[in-house]
Structure 1
Amino acid sequence: MNHKKNWIPIIIPILVGLCIGLIILLIQEKQKAANSSYSVPVRKATPSVVSIYTQVLQKRPLNNQTGSKHSLNLGSGVIATKSGYILTNHHVIQNAQSIVIALNDDRRTHAKLIGSDPSTDLAVLKIELPNLISIKMGNNQNVAVGDRILAIGNPFGIGQTVTAGIISAKGRNSIGLNTYENFLQTDAAINPGNSGGALINLKGELIGISSAIYSSSGGSQGIGFATPIDDALNVMRDIIKNGRVVRGYLGLDAQKITQTLADNLLLPINHGLLVSDITKESPAEKAGIEVGDIILEINNNPSEDPFQIRRLIASLKPGTNISLIGVRGQQSYQANITLEKQPAMQRVTN
């Protein structure tokens, strides 16, 4: 008996160690399975991604007389709230005579257009159905280049499709697709019909609204763009509240100063933004800003990128006071300017 008791202190640690090792092995196998499959985030997000069918009336010449025809266009959208607000692209619903939403659970219903914003190519729709599943929102501050992501939409009308890729770049702002650009770039396949669909992370959270592809053939070539969800939600809130996006307006055009530009124009400094145009009766003109001035700072933000300054001004509401530091000739100056509301159909300036 004493001999058996001497083995007990040895056997118990061995058994405990074996149990711990088995648990660790099971956890590792589970993690491997999770890393090899995207089924969990897809299962979370797909009920909130919808297909959008629009009927558009197109005018066409017919035997030298004016005629018209109806065409059916296709896009995607994302259920942003349980009350039925849907985010999509402006170009998906542009000129639509009727809008039909097809849900992932095979329900179909007509949608009401709440408003759209051509400057960011976003639109908000509303449907009235019970038991809607809204997507979980992500946070763009947590998005990094190299993150794995998934794109969900209805490419070519073949049905809901998931493609995988990574975030290739952030902050793309000079593509020339929209007035205000801050795109996430991805290599996930995005094709016609994906527009307005969801770009999600591996938690199943929405991080972007698929917007466009960069392609010479019309098909995916590994360069797709999506509007970050933080920007899209700001647009959505404005549209729901006001029917449109209300942006601050300064009324000037400017270009980035490079060393070459500074040398050619004999500018006193080689950085900042060179004012190239002032809109008449705009806040910039009222504040005394002139063509040829160099803008160094706006609200303590260095003025190096005209696209970033445009987005900064647009993000502020009319009535906001801004401080501008500029240079005219050899003299620096400070101007306090009150932003106004961007005029309707105004060509976009900062």
Structure 2
Amino acid sequence: MNKKLSLVSAAIAAGLMLANPLPAEAKIPFFSSSEEIPTLAPMLEQATPAIVHISVEGSREVQQRIPEAFRYFFGQRGPNEQRQERPFKGLGSGVIIDADKGYIVTNNHVIEDADNIQIRLKDGRTFKAKKLGTDAQSDIALLQIEAQKLAQVPLANSDKLRVGDFAIAVGNPFGLEQTVTSGIISALGRGGLGIEGLEDFIQTDAAINSGNSGGALLNLRGELIGINTAILGPNGGNIGIGFAIPTNMMKNLVDQIIEYGEVRPGSLGIRGGDVTADLTEAMNLKVSRGAWVNEVIPDSPADKAGLKSGDVVISMNDNRISNFNELRAKVATLGAGKKAKLGILRDGKERSVTVTLGSLTEATVSANEMHPMLQGAALSNADKGVKVDTVEANSPAAQIGLMADDLIIGVNRQAIKNVSDLRKALENRNGIAALNIQRGNTNLYVLIR
């Protein structure tokens, strides 16, 4: 591997030299016929047959603005809006992770609401895929096809990745099948971006564009290190900032889908935030990164394991934790019922505790940290939104009109499916937030500033 990396470095150096004017006496570097030319071709010849093209068709509900003068004819479904079913088509990428069983991993947003999912292989064969399970919070979906002679991509241990490792992206941007781009890993543990509900992204400068979603991020051995998911760009195009879901995170979710038919997120039962410079100084901490525990919920898994407010979680299963979002994502995707070893810093001393994770779907959370005007409300996930379990008398939540058993189904006309969606919508709002509430058979709006 060192020899190959040296050759790659030599090729890059040669390219840099050619990009600048050369003195007359300078000689252009080249490889003789007896030397090995740096190339990724052998690795890609093994890996690309397992990268598939996905095309989808379906219909989804859209909201149409209605002029005030015509609202009488369309009923009173929200302010100036009418919902309609409209057909759609889409393209994306996927990765075969089990050739014998025909398992294909992609992004949830690639196949969401799709009634017909077609998979096309590199050799031209086409198959209809069955949807085995999805998770909107992490943006992972598992499909299955019935086919013979499939290839699969081996999985790497994404916890061993380092910034600066080479990364190869393979997918179908803009419908251009089997497109390969290369770069490096720019950062690890990226979160708090508001892209997904659970974020623990690999960041890469390998070019990722529309249609790459669900495709493979590979290392130089042709092993899968991530599932390409999103880009950061002003116009939706590549600017060298792409994000992929780490392989280990993906595998945890896929294993749950295979076993249960759904993802069962894990819950720790703490509230907190990132370790900041101000917090480090105020609390005289000996670390500059980690997840600060502000509160431990009584009778939660964290409480039973012995975590205390003021602890700093610095590792999980011997892997460093940089921030609270990273801890939250790792806990949720590990799954309910799984054991996790947490490294913590308490009173300047490091220690470890083992916790058995609870179920996030059954957890009731306080709305205090989401918005000051929601203080006093306890929320939980429901089938089609966020349920208001209780509202304290004379609390800010009660004063704005929230009531127990209300169902929050939207914020500013954006559909809300769970607590994470609500949190993200409130964080990304500009100005007033209009909560769409379903109360019995009535729909109403509650405004918070």
Cα pair distance change 1:126/1:158, threshold 3 Å: same
Residue 123 of structure 2: aligned partner: 105
Structure 2 CA distance for aligned equivalents of residues 269 and 137 of structure 1? 37
Q: Which amino acid aligns with 2:98?
A: T
Structure 1: stretches of 5+ with no match in the other structure: 1-26, 329-333
- Is 2:62 the counterpart of 1:46? no
Cα displacement (A) at 1:248: 2.6
Structure 1 CA distance for aligned equivalents of residues 220 and 329 of structure 2? 29
Residue 272 of structure 2: aligned partner: 254
Tell me if structure 2 keeps the 8 A contact 1:296–1:303.
no
3-state DSSP of counterpart to 1:105:
coil
Residue 4 of structure 1: aligned partner: none
Structure 1 CA distance for aligned equivalents of residues 204 and 284 of structure 2? 41
Residue 305 of structure 1: aligned partner: 323
Structure 2 CA distance for aligned equivalents of residues 79 and 39 of structure 1? 19
Cα displacement (A) at 1:288: 9.7
Q: Which amino acid aligns with 2:36?
A: K
Structure 2 CA distance for aligned equivalents of residues 170 and 313 of structure 1? 17
Structure 2 CA distance for aligned equivalents of residues 313 and 247 of structure 1? 8
- Is 2:337 the counterpart of 1:318? yes
- Is 2:97 the counterpart of 1:80? yes
Cα displacement (A) at 1:86: 0.1
Q: Which amino acid aligns with 1:184?
A: I
Cα displacement (A) at 1:307: 2.8
Residue 359 of structure 2: aligned partner: 341
- Is 2:82 the counterpart of 1:71? no
Residue 370 of structure 2: aligned partner: none
Residue 118 of structure 1: aligned partner: 136
Structure 1 CA distance for aligned equivalents of residues 108 and 84 of structure 2? 26
- Is 2:170 the counterpart of 1:166? no
3-state DSSP of counterpart to 1:69:
strand
3-state DSSP of counterpart to 1:188:
coil
Cα displacement (A) at 1:155: 0.6
Q: Which moved more, 1:65-74 or 1:274-283?
A: 274-283
Cα pair distance change 1:268/1:144, threshold 3 Å: closer
Structure 2 CA distance for aligned equivalents of residues 141 and 316 of structure 1? 17
> Bigger radius of gyration, 1 or 2?
1
Residue 32 of structure 1: aligned partner: 36
Cα displacement (A) at 1:325: 7.0
Cα pair distance change 1:241/1:104, threshold 3 Å: same
Tell me if structure 2 keeps the 8 A contact 1:40–1:204.
no
3-state DSSP of counterpart to 1:216:
coil
The C-alpha deviation readout for 1:223-249, integer Å capped at 9, x for no partner, is 111122222222212211111233331
- Aligned pair count reads 315
- Is 2:291 the counterpart of 1:219? no
Tell me if structure 2 keeps the 8 A contact 1:259–1:270.
no
3-state DSSP of counterpart to 1:80:
strand
Q: Which amino acid aligns with 1:295?
A: D
The C-alpha deviation readout for 1:169-215, integer Å capped at 9, x for no partner, is 22323333233333222111100000000112233222221111111
Cα displacement (A) at 1:114: 0.7
Cα displacement (A) at 1:339: 3.4
Q: Which amino acid aligns with 1:221?
A: I
Structure 1 CA distance for aligned equivalents of residues 238 and 321 of structure 2? 35
Q: Which amino acid aligns with 2:46?
A: K
3-state DSSP of counterpart to 1:137:
coil
3-state DSSP of counterpart to 2:98:
coil
TM-score of the superposition, structure 1-length normalised? 0.75
Residue 59 of structure 2: aligned partner: 57
Tell me if structure 1 keeps the 8 A contact 2:111–2:117.
yes
Residue 147 of structure 1: aligned partner: 165
Cα pair distance change 1:114/1:310, threshold 3 Å: same
Q: Which amino acid aligns with 2:53?
A: S
Tell me if structure 1 keeps the 8 A contact 2:53–2:91.
yes
- How many percent identity over aligned positions? 37
Cα displacement (A) at 1:327: 7.4
Tell me if structure 1 keeps the 8 A contact 2:317–2:340.
no
TM-score of the superposition, structure 2-length normalised? 0.60
- Is 2:204 the counterpart of 1:194? no
Q: Which amino acid aligns with 1:318?
A: G
3-state DSSP of counterpart to 1:190:
coil
Cα pair distance change 1:96/1:131, threshold 3 Å: same
Cα pair distance change 1:337/1:228, threshold 3 Å: closer
Tell me if structure 2 keeps the 8 A contact 1:322–1:338.
no
Tell me if structure 1 keeps the 8 A contact 2:52–2:93.
yes
Residue 9 of structure 1: aligned partner: none
Q: Which moved more, 1:172-181 or 1:57-66?
A: 57-66
3-state DSSP of counterpart to 2:262:
coil
- Asked which structure has the greater RCO (Cα within 8 Å, sep 6+), the reply is 1
Structure 1 CA distance for aligned equivalents of residues 120 and 263 of structure 2? 27
Structure 1 CA distance for aligned equivalents of residues 340 and 165 of structure 2? 38
- Is 2:310 the counterpart of 1:294? yes
Structure 2 CA distance for aligned equivalents of residues 152 and 246 of structure 1? 29
Report matched runs for 1:231-242 at 5 Å.
Answer: 231-242=249-260
Cα displacement (A) at 1:88: 0.6
